[in-house]
Amino acid sequence: MDHHWKELIPPDRYLTKSSGVLTDFDRKLVTMLYQPLIGIESSSLYMTLWGEVEQNRLWGQETTHHSLMAATQCSLKEIYRQRLNLEGIGLLKTFIKEESDFKVLIYELQPPLRPDQFFQDGMLNIYLYNRLGKSRYVQLKKFFCDNSLPENLKEVTKSFNEVYQTLQPSELTAKIPDSESEGKHEFLSEAPGRQPVLDDASFDYDLLFAGLSDAVIPKSAVNAEVKEIIKKLSYIYGIDAIQMKNILMNAILPDETIDQEELRKAARDWYKFEHGEKLPRLAEKVQPPMYRTINKKEGSSQEEELAYMLEHISPYQFLKDIAEGGEPPVTDLQIIEDVMFQQKLQPGVVNVLIYYVMLKTDMKLSKGYVQKIAGHWARKNIKTVDEAMTLAKKEQQQYMEWAETKNKPAQNRKTVRKEMLPDWLKENQAAENRPEEANTEDAFELERQKLAERIKKYKKGNI
């Protein structure tokens, strides 16, 4: 994400298109249901692009990203980041056409999901619940509901053939024009909302199918629609293929089909049994089995034991362990949730990221620093704990420079007046201003050992 300039420059042109006619009701859905998930900056970009589409039309006018920067008063980097947020949540599709000197992008706005789809999505509704809390969530749900027709009604609506009669051939004098002769067009209409897309690699279907017995659950019962639900439930609740097989058994009907609502309920019941009444947050996911590479064995090194632990706990639990059982700050959880949602990093990889950043920044999670490293790992397609640890070692010098760059503006400020400093502060300041030499790695290793010992002691006290 930090290399946004490789993807986009201000002279690149763009057009805004809507996949269907957007209405005021769509505006309410975006601001009330999506904005708590993506933030006001991303929803503002959506509204800005929407404003460029003429009313009740599908296309806007071509212009440059420089104009968009002026209209939003945002940097191109920020616009690119918010664009990715909209793409990930399902509110935007991006298409590109390469020209000789610049690119032309088409931003196709996707309508939000209808209220019934959103609140039954099984993923977005759970994240919204965690962001807003029970009271506000229930209030929103009621806002988008209304009374249905009473059951004791008899329909008396007339059918088409009861009201109209067809024309005779002699009356059909007008020739209907051929649609192909009119060129390629798209009718104005409302389009269906688009759900967030999960990568198929996020769930091991082969392992699931290998465990299914045709006598109990036929493979044909797991159709495309059921597979999509399984993938979402696995992502939300951290259910692996073996556990999912048992959950499916609770949702099979006598006609050998899967009851989708019962499947969702069985997954929720499993999660509540394992974790209590609290619904999952993004930061509570654990590393999927397919991305676990570390085997615990006798004589494992300290690094191997650490890697094994990072593969088997959630980022939430890891933050709690670091705090020796204390509840992680909401701001830290928000940073980690944003990284997992926007950069699509696996939980084990996020644990390595937390571990590395904590050591480098005196046990603090700096949002900018976390996002910078996370963006680098996402571009490198890092999926496993081992890959993350290897890359962190390889790029340690680069990451140290990023951390130093973050503090440069404060160091370059001019001193207006000279203050008298106490001796103890002079000593500390002198130590900070000394050039870093070979002892940097020793200090890092010492901090690493301290943190490892801290977690180890806490774990022993809770066994």
pLDDT (tens, 9 = 90+) of the chain, 463 residues, equals: 445 667 788 888 899 998 888 888 999 999 999 999 888 889 999 999 998 887 667 888 888 988 899 888 888 888 988 998 899 889 999 999 876 677 899 999 999 999 988 988 878 888 888 888 888 999 999 999 888 888 888 888 887 777 866 655 555 555 555 555 555 666 555 556 566 666 666 678 888 888 776 557 787 888 888 888 888 788 777 788 888 888 888 888 888 888 888 888 888 788 777 766 666 665 667 777 777 887 766 666 777 888 888 888 888 888 888 877 777 787 788 788 777 767 778 888 998 998 888 877 777 788 888 888 888 888 888 888 889 888 888 877 777 666 666 555 544 444 444 444 444 334 444 444 444 444 545 555 555 666 666 666 555 554 4
Residue-wise DSSP of 20-42? S---HHHHHHIIIIIHHHH-HHH
Partner residues linked to 252 by β-bridges: 258
Burial class of 82 by CB neighbour count within 10 A (0 to 12, 13 to 18, 19+): buried
Q: How many angstroms separate the CA atoms of 192 and 190, rounded?
A: 7
CB neighbour list of residue 76: distance below 8 Å, 6 or more residues apart:
4, 5, 8, 9, 10, 65, 69
The total number of residues written for the chain in this structure: 463
C-beta of residue 42 within 8 angstroms of C-beta of residue 82: yes
- CB 120: neighbour CB atoms within 10 A? 14
Q: How many angstroms separate the CA atoms of 97 and 68, rounded?
A: 19
3-state secondary structure of 90: coil
- Crossing angle, helix 347-360 and helix 385-394, to 10 degrees? 30
pLDDT in tens, 205-235: 888 888 776 557 787 888 888 888 888 788 7
3-state secondary structure of 222: coil
pLDDT in tens, 318-332: 888 887 777 778 778
- CB 460: neighbour CB atoms within 10 A? 8
Say what the alpha-carbon torsion angle 210, 212, 214, 216 is, to the nearest 10 degrees. Answer: 170
**394-400 — which CB contacts under 8 Å span 24+ positions?**
399/356, 399/360, 399/373, 400/360, 400/440
Burial class of 201 by CB neighbour count within 10 A (0 to 12, 13 to 18, 19+): exposed
Q: Closest Cα to residue 277, out of 134, 125, 122?
A: 134
In the chain, the amino acid numbered 382 is: I
In the prediction, which pLDDT does 34 show? 93
Q: Closest Cα to residue 68, out of 50, 87, 85, 88?
A: 50
3-state secondary structure of 173: coil
In the prediction, which pLDDT does 302 show? 77
Q: Closest Cα to residue 145, out of 118, 163, 127, 180?
A: 118
Q: How many angstroms separate the CA atoms of 3 and 20, rounded?
A: 32
Q: How many angstroms separate the CA atoms of 67 and 264, rounded?
A: 46
In the prediction, which pLDDT does 92 show? 92
In the prediction, which pLDDT does 29 show? 93
In the prediction, which pLDDT does 426 show? 42
Partner residues linked to 139 by β-bridges: none
C-beta of residue 65 within 8 angstroms of C-beta of residue 9: yes
Partner residues linked to 134 by β-bridges: none
Per the confidence metrics, is the pTM higher than 0.75? no
In the prediction, which pLDDT does 455 show? 64
CA-angle at 399, arms to 395 and 405, nearest 5° = 150
Partner residues linked to 18 by β-bridges: 109
For residue 94, the surrounding DSSP H or E stretch is: strand 92-98
Q: How many angstroms separate the CA atoms of 13 and 417, rounded?
A: 49
